[in-house]
Chain A
Amino acid sequence: MNSIRLIAAKETGELLGSGRGLGWLITLAVVLSAFSLLLVGSTELSLLDNAQAVYMVMGTITALGGLLAVVVGSDAIAGERERGTLVPLLLTPVSSTGIVLGKMGAQLAAWVAAYVVALPYLWAVGSSGQNLGAAVLYLALFGTPLVIGFGFYALGLSARLGNVRNAMLVALITLILAASPLVLGPSLRQSGIGKMFDAVNPFSAALNAFDSVVIDSDPFGMQIGRLGVVLAWLAVTALFARASARRLEGT
């Protein structure tokens, strides 16, 4: 566990302390600022219920968090290999699982940072206070396993494909597919295939939970199934990452 913490601390320092990591957080803030200013400046958008505005901001934060996880995860193994730092790490007594968990610790730190940056925006658009507390809670409850799951997924691809560009490409395509409910109209989502996709898509589960809690004020009991989908996503991707990292040694 100590080596996991050490690797996580090193990775977090590298990610958040570097220009790259800070640049990402600034980009996130700029995107959220642009969206918030759009709410102020556009007459149609400004008519959205505060609850709807909060829902949209939650979806945006989750999507951006997923994007960051994909970018960081894709570089996690393949990037180290390309920079020559992977072999020295593998040659320490730390197991490949330990390396994966250490790197994911940094991903978690990055998501927490993004979440903290997003909180003022949620407060700003949620002025009526309707379900604002629930929004903050559910963004953490659903957003965290969803985003970390994408991190695991991208890391697993990074280990398997051995190439940052290829890993990022595959992971991004998956993310875009998963996040497509954000842009698909209700009629497409109501079709047979749309419903099937919605049932297994963790992104849909998160968005539907946000909608249900923040806009419709539904209780937690109605979100259990959706939480199950998101947690299943986290578990499957974690296993995928672990199995992929194990292939790094003893091949």
Chain B
Amino acid sequence: MLVEVRDLKLSIGPVPILQGVRLGMDAGDIYGLLGPNGAGKSTTLSVLTGLRRAGSGAVNVLGLDPATQAQALRRRIGVLSEDSGFYGWMKARDYLRFMSSLYGLDLPAQQIEAQLERVGLPGASAHPVGAFSRGMKQRLGLARALLHKPELLILDEPTNGLDPRGRREIHDLLIDLSQHHGVGILLCTHLLDDVDRLCNRIGIIADGRSVVEGSLADLLATRTGAGRYRLRLRGDPPLPAALPEGVTLIASEGEWMHVALPANADPGQVWAALLAAGWDLVEIHNESGGLEDFYLDLTHKELTS
């Protein structure tokens, strides 16, 4: 496993902060870490990055113990923390060059420019970071996290401050990293739409404890017994008869189709079958009781128990 956390506990003084967190992800996974404010998400990330020591429990990141092998670990992970600051007096390219040099890299100017372009900051290399907007700083932070080609990305609210187009661009970048470069991505966010679109695994923490943890599809499926999805198509859909076995068309609203999948169906295979059958899919949204309802339900139970 890329990251494995079992029964993580941590107290700060007499105050218990983490009281049993578990987490597991493999290379290529995009893992969404969710939870109410103060649940312990950031503290969990601090332990994974070696900034805090676990009180007890097993923590393994890329085969390394963050408590004792932090420096070796940091060469292989990229982190974007929520309140990441920058040296405002530096130009963007100088900042990235400085940060990359701390990893022992001597990146040529073109590579720095390419990195900036990759995160949606073309032509910004000569501007002082202090003049960047919040969204631009988020992108710069992501560029910084990617400089040394990490195997694991740990991102805390990566789309903060981004407009919808910016969020989509970052999503595409993360999906590309995950699917085509095998980078594991641990995403800490409050934006359930982001989780819905990006994550294949999630963990929900409430009051310092893991409430649920595992495959997003499985978790949602267990909740409703069936997966309901909203599909947007380009053009007219083929006839319902063209639907794969077990897939039910619930409703159709213009370019939107509501379908239900059996509990044991692999959504990826269903979409592949639909595409093969001529369905021109543009968007797919999971509406299986809704991730939001799922999240709110679970965290409410945990907080009121």
Contact = CB atoms under 8 A, between A and B. Distances in A.
Interface of A: 2-3, 6-7, 10, 14, 18, 80, 83-95, 248-251
7 contacts: A3-B104, A84-B83, A85-B86, A87-B83, A87-B85, A88-B144, A251-B51
Nearest to B137: A84
A249 B50 contact: yes
B98 A250 contact: no
B132 interface: no
A164 to B, nearest CB: 14
A88 B104 contact: no
Contacts of B85: 80, 83-88
B230 interface: no
A104 to B, nearest CB: 17
B86 A250 contact: no
B81 A87 contact: yes
B116 to A, nearest CB: 17
In this complex, which of B74, B87, B98 has the most chain A Cβ atoms within 10 angstroms of its Cβ?
A: B87
B154 to A, nearest CB: 9
Interface in B47-98: 49-53, 67, 70-72, 74-75, 79, 81, 83-87, 89, 98
A86 B81 CA distance: 11
A250 B89 contact: no
A88 B95 CA distance: 12
A-B pairs, 5 with minimum CB distance: A84-B85, A85-B85, A92-B102, A84-B83, A83-B85
A88 B81 contact: yes
A85 B102 CA distance: 14
A90 B74 CA distance: 9
B99 A88 contact: yes
B53 A84 contact: no
Contacts of A92: 74, 99, 102-103
Contact of A250 (B53, B84, B141): B53
A88 B52 CA distance: 15
Nearest to A82: B85
Interface in B244-277: none
B37 interface: no
B101 interface: yes
A94 to B, nearest CB: 5
B70 A250 contact: yes
A251 B74 CA distance: 17
A2 B84 contact: no
A85 B50 contact: no
A249 B53 CA distance: 8
Contacts of A93: 71-72, 74-75, 102-104
Contacts of A251: 51-53
Interface string B86-126: 11010000000011011110000000000000000000000
A86 B87 CA distance: 10
A211 to B, nearest CB: 42
In this complex, which of A7, A10, A87, A92 has the most chain B Cβ atoms within 10 angstroms of its Cβ?
A: A92
Nearest to B154: A91
A59 to B, nearest CB: 34
B101 A250 contact: no
Contacts of A90: 51
Contacts of B144: 88
A92 B51 CA distance: 11
B106 to A, nearest CB: 10
Contacts of A84: 83-86
A14 B87 contact: yes
